[in-house]
Amino acid sequence: MQVTFKPELIEKELINTLTFNQKDKVEQHPKLEEQIRNATKLGNAYHNKVSIFFQDDIGLKRVDTTIWAFGAKYICLKGGVWLPINRIVEIKS
């Protein structure tokens, strides 16, 4: 799955102000888990940023940042910002 329309580019510090209450199913890239693992390796080993495309309650967003860690339901971005995995569409390095 490719992101085909232009997302709103935001700073990672604004993610905590977004809402993720809607239960709408987000169409995710079929290899999202692999993308998360690879992006986390890039973040920890090389401090490389990735583009994360995700859906909040308003629309599609993009943030360019470093992923430090991930769990079953969230990824942790540089600066201690958490993003729910079930709202991530795709990650591009």
| Model confidence, pTM | 0.92
Rounded CA separation 21/4 (Å): 24
User: CATH code at 61?
Assistant: 2.30.30.100
Token match 């809402």: residue?
Answer: 19
Rounded CA separation 51/19 (Å): 20
Q: How confident is the model at residue 4 (pLDDT cuts 50, 70, 90)?
A: low
- Domain assignment of residue 29, yes or no: yes
- Domain assignment of residue 51, yes or no: yes
DSSP letter (8 states) at residue 32: H
- Domain assignment of residue 63, yes or no: yes
Parent domain of 81: 8-15+25-92
CA distances from 89 to 59, 72, 93 (A): 12, 16, 14
- Domain assignment of residue 81, yes or no: yes
**72-83 pLDDT per residue, tens:** 999 999 899 999
Counted domains in the chain:
1
Q: How confident is the model at residue 64 (pLDDT cuts 50, 70, 90)?
A: very high
